[in-house]
Structure 1
Amino acid sequence: MNKRAKKILFLLFTAVFCFTIALPSIFAVPSQSVSPEVFSAYEIEAGLVPETSANQATDGEKTTNSDIVCVMRIYSDPGIVSFSPQLSMDFGHSFLTFLNVSSSDITVGRHTVAPNQMISVGKFGNLTDYAGGFKGVFYNIESHRSQALGWYATGRSLFMDLTASELNTISDCIKQMQSGYIEVGNNCATFAGLVWNSILPSDHAKYIDHVGTPSLIYQDMEGIGGYYTGNGLIQAEDARCFYTGSVRVICEDKY
């Protein structure tokens, strides 16, 4: 065998050897990452989660904890309207919901929530004609809008199960931000985001970094993962109201 033939044979052998080594990885099935939990076990127990989704819930999602008293969700619907590539406006809304999963009444902000009941909590500056000029935190506006008008169907939401101690911290934060509304710095997104973050360290997986507008919170949820899209978990079970100090005032909505 001449020198050239030996070289060709060596190269052919090398190619066959490398292909044999690589063969398992070529046909290997890539590992699938496990998605974060989308639903709380308590939402599943309460029958809020569609049956198909509940059946797909992981064992971790179905585990309950006796220390948990409620499920908090933060919703954000961007509602962005674009007038041109250079100009767009954020007409969306961010808010919170609380589902009482305990056997006793709980207090969310100023509001009492009965067992198995849900309320929504959000900040508004444009309901003054229906609230005696009040601007600030309202209860159950969003839940009624969702049920009656189908709003927030494209919004994203994340959940957290809260202990009594965590709920107390959340409630204190809501009360501190009860009154006042400014388009930049004290709006619905700032309120919802700061309340949500109030019990989380800044390096927590569900900490929301950008809370200036609904679209920013919506975008942050993309990076956080494990969000639910839609309004199917929202229940309207109490009257719309706000509080001046500790006095409850029933109100209407402009829609």
Structure 2
Amino acid sequence: MKLRSAHLTRYILPLREGGSLPALAEADDDFKYVVKFKGSGHREKALIAEFLGGEIARKLGFKIPELVLLHLDEAFGRTEGDEEIQDLLQASQGLNLGLHFLSGAINYDPNVMKVDPDLASKIVWMDAFITNVDRTFRNTNMLMWHKELWLIDHGSAFFFHHSWENWEKHAKSPFAFIKDHVLLKEASELEKADETFKQLITDSFLMDLVNELPDEWLNFDPDLTPETIRKVYFDFMKLRLENTEIFIKEAQNARQNLI
């Protein structure tokens, strides 16, 4: 689970307009990455969600691009002419997060590409578990690469951390946003997915996971130490795992309205 690290050497291009402005960039290991910058709209919390969600997905057996810690120094991007991007890079000095770039991958199109009920149920279960609001028809955050389905972009998961209050209530939430999931209609085997995945997500895995969060990303609240923040993430996931029937029922009910 321990991530590799590299240093960013070349900014190539922004990947979409909007608040987060992820970019394609190259690092000193000669690989290209889709970079999520800590100076973006949700700052370090988006990187935390990306890391936790991505590594949970990998643990559950999904295809996920390698996540790499990317160092950005003061000189990086100085020749970039766009003022907004310059500001973003200045605010992102230090440790950022990159996803290995899947060259030639195409976006998953639900109108032409079908996912079997087993895989669909597993993806829906995971997104409900991590409270990922962003795998919808409008933005599937899935790619087809070498004829296999790859999951990307978990930066909108764990949205409880944007208010950081009453996390216990959020941990037991039914997650109503699951009604918008692009694969919900095909997800007919949620209870089977639940049985399988609860065996894989152990306390020791969750503890190792939160312990890998860099201290540099855990300074967003002066009243909380990095250790306290790690414990909240651990406790949130453990409590959610103990109450999966709540979000499974919500997903099943929402699916009934679609079929």
| TM-score interval for Structure 1 and Structure 2 normalised by the shorter chain | under 0.3
Between Structure 1 and Structure 2, the one with more strand by share is 1
Higher helix share: 2
Which of structures 1 and 2 has the bigger CA Rg? 1
Provide the TM-score with structure 2 as the length reference. 0.26
